[in-house]
Amino acid sequence: MTIHTENAYHNAQKQFDIAADILNLDGGYRRLLRVPHREFACNFPVKMDDGQIRIFTGYRVQHNTTRGPAKGGIRYHPDTDIDEVRALAMLMSWKCAVVNIPYGGAKGAVVVDPALLSLGEIERLTRRYATEISFLIGPDIDIPAPDIGTNAQIMAWIMDTYSMHRGHTVPAVVTGKPINIGGSHGRNEATARGLVYILREACEGANISIAGARVVIQGFGNVGGTSARLLEEMGAKIVGVADRGGGIANTKGIDLRQLQAHYDKTGTVAGAPGGDTVSNAELLELPCDILIPAAIENQITARNADRIKAKIVIEAANGPTTPDADTILHDRGVLVIPDILANAGGVTVSYFEWVQGLQEFFWTEREVNAQLERIMVNAFEQVNTVAQARRMPLRTAAYLLAVDRTAQAYITRGIYP
């Protein structure tokens, strides 16, 4: 995956500043919300399979906890750093606020390529990292979840480690767990399903039919792959897919079953039959109706925004479009559906899982999906109403709602002491 040099944290602050300016936000609250509330970094040892000890760097950043406990995923990636974690924690605050669930934002990460570790090494790394951050997390404080490079099994190890320290089982300390230890039905597909609900509403408003629409997806992990399947079921034609290894394109449509079989066998869509080889950069610029960046941040920038051919860009990834690119796309009439709205389905169903864990009362998948649809559709309607009334991009409207809700919570609570 192409990684550009834009600083993700600075971009997140720029997007916040735009909303703060429009809201004429008080200077004190502006300074408060512009930076994380709490940051933690650690260097911890892990014994590898060959007996050697390696040192890994881990982070946990809590941007804001005014509206409720902090919430945010844990990322295992070799290129992560503290600024990326700061940016993602801030985005989580706005994401939770825009769909109006009672959380603040957090994010965690370990600088590691999990593909280079054995399963046992990943478990030992996870349990040590969980121990390092155990004083920061908890069902009433900060609830981690999966992100890039992590999964349900890793959440299970974190939950078990935390529970061992407490002396009793604490299912609600993480979300995204396996169902047999307190996970929620519908969680695995939640981000993609929420994105599709938002896309459906946006397409109706833009008079674009999903049936027959040409879709390009960057990223074929859980979110990208599930989005492709759900959209194909609605009649869309997937004409381009890529991941970090490369991609394929076919104007007649890609056979997703064949592509999935190749991905399951090789771990990448690169080299899959049934399409022409394309790079990640080329994929973003393919002719299409809908472009779904579902990989990492800073993929659509001032360098390539003028060559994006999609009518709609819907951000499944966090921060895939830089502020400069946003301006270019808006001026060209491209509808950008921002990450803090588009991919909030994951944290919404994480909220459902947390509630179920606290109550020890579990819902069916049908109930989960119905509640997810209700919240996502309501959030889109609120954001779209602001955007139409104030003649502004959806991202700005989403930020206005999220920042104002968070600032108002601060104002109502007051500053202690």
Q: Would the pLDDT of 80 be above 80?
A: yes
- Segment 134-154, tens digit of pLDDT: 999 999 999 999 998 999 999
**Mean pLDDT over the full length of the chain:** 95
Q: Would the pLDDT of 113 be above 70?
A: yes
Are 71 and 347 within 8 A, CB to CB? yes
Q: Domain locations in the chain?
A: 38-179, 190-342
Residues 6+ apart with CB under 8 A from 31: none
Give CA–CA dist 393/391, Å, rounded.
Answer: 7
* CA 409, 411, 412, 417 torsion-angle sign: positive
Candidates 74, 85, 211, 88; CA nearest to 133 is: 74
Give the whole-number percent of the chain exceeding pLDDT 90.
Answer: 92
- CA 108 and chain centroid, separation: 13
Candidates 23, 18, 1, 30; CA nearest to 410 is: 30
Give CA–CA dist 94/386, Å, rounded.
Answer: 16
The residue-averaged pLDDT of 29-45 equals 97
State which amino acid sits at residue 179. Answer: I
* CA 372, 377, 382, 383 torsion-angle sign: positive
Q: Would the pLDDT of 4 be above 80?
A: no
- Segment 160-170, tens digit of pLDDT: 999 999 999 99
**Torsional class of 4: left (φ above 0), alpha (ψ -120 to 50), beta (otherwise):** beta
Q: Would the pLDDT of 291 be above 70?
A: yes
Specify the DSSP element, H or E, that contains 259: helix 256-266
Candidates 80, 143, 155; CA nearest to 318 is: 80
pLDDT value at position 221?
87
Give CA–CA dist 36/261, Å, rounded.
Answer: 42
- Topology adopted by domain 38-179: Rossmann fold (3.40.50)
- Segment 368-397, tens digit of pLDDT: 999 999 999 999 999 999 999 999 999 999
Q: Would the pLDDT of 1 be above 70?
A: no
- Segment 232-251, tens digit of pLDDT: 999 999 999 999 889 999 99
pTM of the model: 0.93
Task: Check if 38-179 and 190-342 are the same fold.
Answer: yes
Structure confidence at residue 7 as a pLDDT band (50, 70, 90):
confident
pLDDT value at position 244?
86
Q: Would the pLDDT of 5 be above 80?
A: no
pLDDT value at position 247?
93
pLDDT value at position 2?
44
Apex 176 CA angle, 174 and 179, nearest 5: 105
Q: Would the pLDDT of 11 be above 70?
A: yes
Specify the DSSP element, H or E, that contains 232: helix 222-233
The residue-averaged pLDDT of 77-100 equals 96
Give CA–CA dist 318/315, Å, rounded.
Answer: 7
Are 30 and 20 within 8 A, CB to CB? yes
Annotation marks residue 107 as catalytic: yes
The residue-averaged pLDDT of 315-344 equals 94
Of 95, 107, 177, 237, catalytic: 107
Q: What is the CATH number of domain 190-342?
A: 3.40.50.720
* Axis-axis angle for helices 190-205, 222-233 (nearest 10): 50
Candidates 34, 396, 385, 61; CA nearest to 201 is: 385
Structure confidence at residue 298 as a pLDDT band (50, 70, 90):
confident
Give the whole-number percent of the chain exceeding pLDDT 70.
Answer: 99
The residue-averaged pLDDT of 176-180 equals 95
Give CA–CA dist 67/412, Å, rounded.
Answer: 11
DSSP codes joined into one string, 284-332: HTS--SEEEE-S-SS-B-TTTGGG---SEEE--SSS-B-HHHHHHHHHT
Q: Would the pLDDT of 405 be above 60?
A: yes
pLDDT value at position 367?
97
